[in-house]
Each structure stands twice: as C-alpha cells, then as structure tokens.
Structure 1
C-alpha cells in the first residue's frame, strides 16, 4: 500500500477535474445539511473544494451552494445514490483524470489529493484498512468505460475491478457520517 504524500500538491502537469458528491439524504446525520456542517467555522464541502483548488473544474453533484465556485449538477432521480451521482458528474468531466470525493471529508488536503493523483487509479484506505471509495483518483476514460457496462448501485462493485492502488490515509483520517464524527473533527481542527 502506498502512503499519501504530506507535502506538495498536484502540479500543472496533472490536469484533473474534481467530482464532489453532495446530494445524499444524510440519514445518519439526522437528515441535516451535512455538506454545510461547520468544522472550525468552515463548511465541510468548502474544505473539500479547497483541497482540489488545483482542479481544472470542480463539479458538485447536489444542491447549489452560493459562494462555492463549481459547476452544479444533479443525479436522476435526485438522491438515487453514488453511482447515478457519479454518472451525472462524469458527463461534464473533460480532464483526463478525475478525483471522486464525498462532501464530508474534513481532513482532505491538497497533499492527500496529490498522493492519489500519483497513481493512474487510486483509492484512499483508512487506518482500519477500509477502502474509502468516495476518496479516489481515476483515469476518466477507464471510469467511463466501467460505467457503460455497470448495472449495479455499489461504488465498490464499480471501482474495485479497476485494480486501484491503495493509498494509506493520514493518521487521523475520517469522514463525517454522524454528529459524533463531526464533533471529533471539530475537536481536532477547532
């Protein structure tokens, strides 16, 4: 397993677009606006967008967020899950590489993105050894080809056959699925 870089950012020689999935129901989050939840005074989705400032284009699949510089699209039907959301976002990707991200990643940084982009196809692996399918970098054409024939609803089912390099996360990595996760992120970053 590779280790994510801790310094450096993707350079101009690595053109990529970012697709941020931000349209889920947030059931474990009490149905509240999880991407808009604040950690150290900054909405989660803005933290993610800052980590991909080097992207040629940032595409958010979900509701429009005033002040966030991105192209906004919706999956059909809305709320139908990550695979339809990825399909919607990928329709307007024009770069040869795409970084696929959840909107609830408080510890995502440009160096983590650079570590993923250092490989043709890569997925982040958390400290528990679990693949984080909503934190990865992919060859756009490979992803489009895989989606053409995939009829399932699981990102793992779609992405695992692409044999991605597993990139180890930074030590305190987590997403924010629950209010408790958000409180822990606030404690670390606040």
Structure 2
C-alpha cells in the first residue's frame, strides 16, 4: 500500500463506533437500534464507513451490521472508556471515531474527513454553530494512543482538542439525534430520502 495518504487523503483506516450509552433524553431506548428510513441509525453510520478495513462497534452485539463487537467495562461507563476499548482493536494507522446516532453521516463526509486529516493528526466535523463534533472525526491512531496514555480527564474534548484537528464544515452530516424532536426530523428526512443527498426536510 505504501504511503498513508494519496490524493484522497488517508487511505487505510478502521472505524470505531460508540453504540453503548442509554439514551436518557429519549426515554432510555436503544438509540443505535432506532429505525430511520428503513435502517437502524447504527446501520446508517456503518454504511458511511463501508470502506473501512475493520468496523469495531463498542456496544451490545447485534445481528447487523457485521462488525467486531466489544464492550467497555463497566458497560455504559462513558465515551472515554468506550474509546479505550475500541481503540485496542484498531490495527490501521488511522481510525474514524463515530457516534451511532448520526443518521445523516455519509461516505462523502467521511471522505472529506480523510482528505482534511492527512496533513495533521486528525479532523472533525463541525456543526452549523461551528462546534466540533468529537464523535464525528478521523484520527491518527498513534497520536490518540499517546494522548490517552497521559490523559486523566473525563471528556473527549479535553483529550482530542489538543491534537488540533482540521475542522470540516458539514452541518447536516454532523447532526445527531438526542431528543424525540431530532429523531422525528431525521425520520421525516429519511422517509423522503432520494438516492443520494439528504435535504433538511426531504423533498
């Protein structure tokens, strides 16, 4: 394979999807398993990284998507323990770190992250307000492992922000579903989804 990155940016990468937390604002339902446009949110995220060398899902095993399923200890301990558990499985020089509740994430957004990340240690999607989405990024594996080894904090932002990631403005792809309103909006867009781009409210 040679170099880590060519015209498309980062070539080989693994994907780690965090799919374990209980969705308190959605009444404790299994958020990754919720249906949007005929597929679960987790399946939609998995589809966006279908060219990853390895898909690691940190959460309870499911029939779909096909992935390496692992659990943080204790389950539900939060994103940092989940990241540590998922990262232990990563063998590629780069990995995508994603939440399972981003039904609008697509391959184009992941390709944009791969292009942007290649010049440094990572890249993250930013939302319409310009806030980085720390669970929507692509990172140099060695840089995150080194940062984790020295990190005693509790937040992903505290861990990842010092790596100075490139920012990729993709407000639609960066949207997650934390509330019943956001889920309803996602389902409306998913139901009217043309093959290709998703508009904010469908057609």
Distance 1:56 1:76, change over 3 A: same
CA contact (8 A) 2:71 2:85 kept: yes
- Tell me the equivalent position of 2:146: 145
- Tell me the equivalent position of 2:92: 95
Partners of 2:114 and 2:95 in 1: CA distance: 9
- Tell me the equivalent position of 1:68: 65
Distance 1:74 1:32, change over 3 A: same
CA contact (8 A) 2:105 2:173 kept: no
- The one-character-per-residue Cα deviations of 1:101-120 (angstroms, maximum 9, x if unpaired) are 00000100011001111123
1:106 pairs, out of 82, 103, 116, with 103
Give the TM-score of the pair, scaled to structure 2: 0.85
RMSD: 1.6
1:59 pairs, out of 56, 60, 63, with 56
Segments of 4+ in structure 1 off by > 4 A?
10-13, 170-173
Gaps of 5+ in 2: 1-6, 192-203
Partners of 2:173 and 2:150 in 1: CA distance: 36
Number of residue pairs aligned between Structure 1 and Structure 2: 181
Secondary structure of 1:35's match? Answer: helix
Partners of 1:112 and 1:179 in 2: CA distance: 25
Partners of 1:24 and 1:158 in 2: CA distance: 19
Instruction: Give the deviation of 1:41 after TM superposition.
Output: 1.4
Instruction: Give the deviation of 1:131 after TM superposition.
Output: 0.9
* Larger-gyration structure (1/2): 2
Whose relative contact order is higher, 1 or 2, with alpha carbons under 8 Å and at least 6 apart?
1
CA contact (8 A) 2:124 2:136 kept: yes
Give the TM-score of the pair, scaled to structure 1: 0.91
Gaps of 5+ in 1: 1-9
